[in-house]
Amino acid sequence: MGRTTQRECGTTGRCGPDKERPTAWSAYGKLVRLFRERAGLTQQALAEAIDYSLEQVASVEQGRRPAKAAFTEAAERVLEAGGALRVLQEDVDRAKLPVFFQDFALLGAEAVSRFSYDPLLIPGLLGLRGPTPTEDPDFTGLGRLPVRLT
């Protein structure tokens, strides 16, 4: 009875009337509205100043759509937000992902990657078994080298 299914909660894992509207989007939109009103601009004037449509500005302010980085940079410049919108951009981007995946995506962004490609090298356990120099006087070490296909 009190359980909700994934179908009811959508792909984001949020339930209720705002199940598809992450709080980061709403918070970001409220800040945009606050800075816009402080600057004395209408939504139409802001849209023209940052070269976006009125619908896009309205949707971002209402938390219906996420702001992209280009929108944030343009809004920062026009509204003189002092970096307040830029600080929230990472949260807005991460909120697009399903709830169960957000922490993993954060770890993935911090991970160190290896940027090399060697199609002829097979790393791993190949050739790691066999005698060591202390066990075999005729040891050459060739059995412990990575295998190269040529």
Burial class for 2, CB neighbours closer than 10 Å (0-12, 13-18, 19+): exposed
| Local structure of residue 143 (DSSP, 8 states) | G
Q: pTM of the entire structure?
A: 0.58
d(CA 20, CA 96): 9
78-130 pLDDT, tens digit each:
999 999 999 999 889 888 878 787 777 777 767 666 666 667 666 655 555 55
pLDDT band for 5, please (50, 70, 90 cuts): very low
Spell out the domain ranges in the chain.
Answer: 7-103, 116-150
pLDDT band for 21, please (50, 70, 90 cuts): confident
What's domain 7-103's superfamily in CATH? lambda repressor-like DNA-binding domains (1.10.260.40)
